Amino acid sequence: MKQSANDRMNAISEQGLCAGCGICQSIAGADKIKFVKSLNGYERPVIIGELDDFTVDRIFDICPGTRIEGLPENKLSPSTKIDKVWGPWHRIARAWAGDEKTRFEGSTGGVLTALAQFMLNDKRVDFILHVKASVKDPTFGESYLSFTEADVLETGGSRYGPSAPLINIDEILARGQTFAFIGKPCDIAALRNLAQYDVRVNELVKYWLTPVCGGFMAPYSMDSFLSRAGVARKSLTALRYRGQGCPGPTRVETAEEVKEFHYLDFWGDDESGWHLPFRCKICPDGIGEAADISASDTWIGGSPTREESKDDLGTNAVIVRTAAGLELFEAAAKAGAITIEYDITPDDMSIYQPHQVRKKYAAHDRHQGLGDQGRIVPKTDRLRLIELADELPESTRKLQRAGTRARVRSGKATEPKPEEFE
């Protein structure tokens, strides 16, 4: 029996594939899909009208839960190098924001913040589309437009909670103004997918920037952290995940008190403490291959120690992937907006981000495990996932595939039908 359009749409969330970008609301219209906090604590698309197959087909082709791909081929040039793990690049370097305050406020070295400020100051774009802390729930992020350097600085620091920067992308494009987009790799993929249907995207989005992303904290883990901190979610007035140093304190505020914790108190001292949504566990591109510029932390082994992070001013590893990104990066350095320490290699990136390497190698077989269970398998062109999987021992590949099948059968890869949390 053929599934209804509504059931097909809900399957993206129910199968744990929703990345939380919000673009589906913009595609379907706010009278059909309402992207809101759902009963399970995530932001999810709640259907409030009857969808048709055409709309759902379009969403499946744009949603980064069902389609996340590498850099468009027309963005590659003869001088582009392609690393099997780290993807296309023109230059990779260690760098930080030229302004001390921007470097301090940023979540690592402040490079993405500094580039956003430079683009506005240099009148390269009219505004920056990115996220800031939600006023309604500080554990969440919300779509935000920055028109000044001060606006940008206000948004500094990573957001490790649900954020939907593309929830109103149609309205933003309708402004007819040029902008730069800074979002998670899955958000970048969604906007690249939309560009194949909406000519305004490539006309107006002049620069695409992303942090290298390890995922965001599942809502139940956030509740657990707040419980350990002795703070009720409903009493929160502000939450700063990191920044003001590298990584800087996780700062929890209520009307009565302010508490600060170490980054490792929040995430845990190793990867075993990273409680991520299922979608993040099968992510094929946490490194932002479809962006002009990707920026990451530079901790050897992927995480700071409690001692070495005390006086760390912050240094980004920056992967410049396109000619446009290279021109921006070098112009910003020439203007003093960023400081380039020295160039590095993809091998250095693997030392700084070993968890990204492991996940990239595992992605193909994890996706095959989804297919074994009759689940939606994301489209992943231009990410070299099969080639990477073929380098693994057969025993490792079988474990990855079987592990995903087991997650599906146990219900760990399943979410309830999205319903709005009142």
User: What length is written for the chain?
Assistant: 422
**How far apart, in Å, are the Cα atoms of 324 and each of 96, 205, 229?**
19, 12, 44
* Span 263-320, pLDDT tens digits: 888 887 665 566 889 999 999 999 999 999 999 999 999 888 887 666 789 999 999 9
Mean pLDDT of the chain: 95
Angle, CA of 173, 192 and 83, to the nearest 5°: 145
129 and 22 in contact (C-beta within 8 Å)? no
Record the tokens describing residue 137, joined without a space. Answer: 């729930």
Among residues 268, 265, 263, 236, which one has the least CA distance to residue 252?
A: 236
* Span 88-110, pLDDT tens digits: 999 999 999 999 999 999 989 99
Q: What is the pTM (predicted TM-score) of this model?
A: 0.96
Residue 147 has pLDDT above 80, yes or no: yes
Among residues 108, 157, 102, which one has the least CA distance to residue 130?
A: 157
pLDDT at 268: 77
pLDDT at 306: 81
Which range has the worst mean pLDDT, 74-83, 119-128, 266-275, 357-366?
266-275
Mean pLDDT, residues 386-407 taken together: 98
- Which segments of 112-257 are extended strands (E)? 127-133, 141-146, 179-182, 205-211, 236-240, 250-254
Determine which helix (DSSP H) or strand (DSSP E) holds 44, and give its type and residue range.
Answer: strand 43-47
Record the tokens describing residue 78, joined without a space. Answer: 């003869």
Looking at 282-353, list the stretches that DSSP marks H as alpha helix, in order from N- to C-terminal side. Answer: 323-334, 346-352
* Span 155-173, pLDDT tens digits: 988 888 899 999 999 999 9
Determine which helix (DSSP H) or strand (DSSP E) holds 105, and give its type and residue range.
Answer: helix 100-105
Amino acid at residue number 170:
D
250-258 contacts: CB < 8 A, separation 24 or more? 252/226, 253/138
pLDDT exceeding 90 applies to what percent of the chain? 84
pLDDT at 272: 59
Confidence of residue 49 (pLDDT cuts 50, 70, 90): confident
Using CA atoms, how far apart are residues 60 and 65, in angstroms rounded to an integer? 8
